[in-house]
Amino acid sequence: MNRVKDKVIVVTGAASGLGLADTRVLTREGAQVVMTDIDPEAGQAQAEDIGATFITQDVSNESSWDRVMSEVDKRFGRLDGLVNNAGIAPIATIEDTTTEVWRRVMGIHLDATFWGCQSAIKLMKQSGGGSIVNMSSTAALVGLAPYLAYSAAKGGIRSMTKSIAIHCRTEGLGIRCNSVHPGSISTPMVHKALKTLVGTDLMAEEDPEKTRKAMGIGEPEDVANMVLYLLSDESKHVTGAEMVVDNGDTVI
């Protein structure tokens, strides 16, 4: 209990899936979580249920970052953590990825992570330090054929994270920056992909839990527990690291 007590933490894309699980686990461990999402209805409802704060945000809009960080500063006067988690995963290979899809994926993943880190560092410097977690993927480590733009963006997030980590260390800012690389985890994003790619409707299965386990798919809490560790002071000596949460999928 209280592993992140009183820390003020922003989680993007928090209305669903991994961001929602992060919010639940961080709140349970004492943090004051500011959830942001492009979906205000789901976000607001979840925030009320959990006891967190919700702000509507399209992370791919640069000016939204000033608005979110100003609001956090006004309400809490500090920022201790940021999880750049919001994402989309359109299915398209090198042969069928349109420029529009490419730009949208880069906007939501790469641009947003860049703006998120930049604006968080400004506020964290005032608070004397902090921890940033950038949600990447095993797609950054191996490359996935049906996810061309997504793999490229997640690879960029991986190396951007390391550049930020070393900058913050060199400048003595007390800010750590790490990336998390989940394999397949049971969230709406993956349920949609399973239907399209392998024809399995996981949630319509007679026993979804049994099928999930048989398919080697993890639970959102498996990732949320890693995020919790990286945002807590337990990971004070960890920065620039790529934390893989994939049950060994990329090892075999």
Ligand X SMILES: NC(=O)c1ccc[n+]([C@@H]2O[C@H](COP(=O)([O-])OP(=O)(O)OC[C@H]3O[C@@H](n4cnc5c(N)ncnc54)[C@H](O)[C@@H]3O)[C@@H](O)[C@H]2O)c1
| Nearest approach, Cβ of residue 226 and ligand X (Å) | 12
Residue nearest to ligand X (CB): 17
The verdict on 190 binding ligand X (CB under 6 A) reads yes
Kindly tell me which residue out of 116, 131, 182, 235 binds ligand X, with binding defined by CB under 6 A: 182
Number of residues counted as binding ligand X (CB under 6 A): 29
The verdict on 39 binding ligand X (CB under 6 A) reads yes
SS3 of the chain: the string is CCCCCCCEEEEECCCCHHHHHHHHHHHHCCCEEEEEECCHHHHHHHHHHHCCEEEECCCCCHHHHHHHHHHHHHHHCCCCEEEECCCCCCCECCCCCCHHHHHHHHHHHHHHHHHHHHHHHHHHHHHCCEEEEEECCCHHHHCCCCEHHHHHHHHHHHHHHHHHHHHHHHCCCCEEEEEEEECCECCHHHHHHHHHHHCCCHHHCCCHHHHHHHCCCECHHHHHHHHHHHHCHHHCCCCCCEEEECCCCCCC
Phi then psi for residue 33, to 5 deg, are -100, 135
Residue with tokens 């999930």: 212
Of the pair 91, 173, the CB lying nearest ligand X is at 91
The verdict on 161 binding ligand X (CB under 6 A) reads no
The verdict on 185 binding ligand X (CB under 6 A) reads yes
Residue with tokens 């993943």: 109
**Residue 160 in contact with residue 113, Cβ under 8 Å?**
yes
| Nearest approach, Cβ of residue 100 and ligand X (Å) | 15
The verdict on 19 binding ligand X (CB under 6 A) reads yes
Kindly tell me which residue out of 8, 10, 15, 228 binds ligand X, with binding defined by CB under 6 A: 15
The interface region with ligand X, picked from 57-65, 73-81, 170-178, 202-210 by CB under 6 A, is 57-65
Kindly tell me which residue out of 23, 27, 137, 211 binds ligand X, with binding defined by CB under 6 A: 137
Kindly tell me which residue out of 22, 37, 80, 222 binds ligand X, with binding defined by CB under 6 A: 37
User: 77-96 mask for ligand X (x: CB under 6 A)?
Assistant: --------xxxxx-------
The verdict on 216 binding ligand X (CB under 6 A) reads no
Active site residues: 150
Of the pair 88, 215, the CB lying nearest ligand X is at 88
The verdict on 34 binding ligand X (CB under 6 A) reads no
Applying CB under 6 A, the residues found at the interface with ligand X are 12-13, 15-19, 37-39, 57-60, 85-89, 108, 135, 137, 182, 184-185, 187-190
